[in-house]
A = this chain, B = another copy of it.
Amino acid sequence: MARERVGILGLGLIGGSLALALKGKRGAPEVWGCDRRKETVRRALSAGAIARGCTEAQLSACDMVIVCVPVLRAAEAVRRLGPRMRPGTILTDAGSVKSGIVREGERAAARGAFFVGGHPIAGTEASGFSAADPDLFHGRSFVVTPTSRTDAGAILRVERIWKKAGSAVLLRMDPKVHDHVFAYVSHLPHAVAYALVHSVATLPSRVPLGYSAGGFRDFTRIASSNPEMWKDIVLENRTEVLRALSHYRRNLALLERRIAAGDANGLLEYFGRAKRTRDGLLTS
């Protein structure tokens, strides 16, 4: 069997890190890279992250193509690439929102080719190939979002690549469940942090927040994430994000009413229940 050839579309933080993570690993595939910025391809080549830079059309010579472009551009890319995939090859992605892309991918994939939705749980506030890091996925989770139509062998081949790139925990989740869960545990916290920073922005500018604020730095770190990327994510997962926000708003209103009423027992119940929930969620 010839050495597997994997093509990466988009050599930004995720695609670039994946290429770097696979570099030199035992049994790693040959990696081809494609990026709309020629300079990025040149840098990936000189870093040894990819064996060859190629055009989008040339990606169809690969056994697996991993779409690592921003969420809102991924659907178009999948629509263009899908019909060009050869039988037995796999088209997959690395986006943070899954229902839409999985629907598009299954529709677009050529007969005999497979689409598999994927989501590596990793990232930093930085972006672009210059922020790419071979250890970005080390010890982190990788989520595959199969449907009833997804080929079992294709799932395993995709998981194998990410395990080789460092992922330590492999999860499988229905695409809709994925988008619901991540609306709550990732997209909602980001929305909340962004709104919090806007509120704090009104404080007297001479207050040295950097050290005066217990936990504030950690808490709002995620508000330093890439605005373009988060615009795409909340739009792509709009329905679930709005549901989570509305649910969250009701929980916050309850807290506000108990503070306004000076309801000591109610507050103790509210904080105590949250603490038990949080402690439980993380140890389970």
Using a CB–CB cutoff of 8 Å, the interface residues on chain A facing chain B are 121-123, 140-141, 143, 169, 171, 173, 177, 180-181, 184-186, 188-189, 191-205, 207-225, 227-228, 230-231, 234-235, 238, 241-242, 244-249, 251-252, 255-256, 259-260, 262, 264, 267-268, 270-275, 277-279, 281-284
Contacts and interface: CB of A to CB of B under 8 A. Distances in A.
B223 A200 contact: no
A212 B185 contact: yes
A171 B184 CA distance: 37
Closest 5 CB pairs of A and B: A227-B271, A185-B213, A195-B252, A227-B272, A231-B267
A120 to B, nearest CB: 10
Contacts of A122: 214
Q: Which of A121, A180, A281 is most buried by chain B, counting CB atoms within 10 A of its CB? A: A281
Nearest to A231: B267
A212 B245 CA distance: 20
A139 to B, nearest CB: 9
Contacts of A273: 198, 201
Contacts of A199: 184, 188, 244, 247-248, 251
A279 B224 contact: yes
Contact of A216 (B186, B194, B225, B267): B186
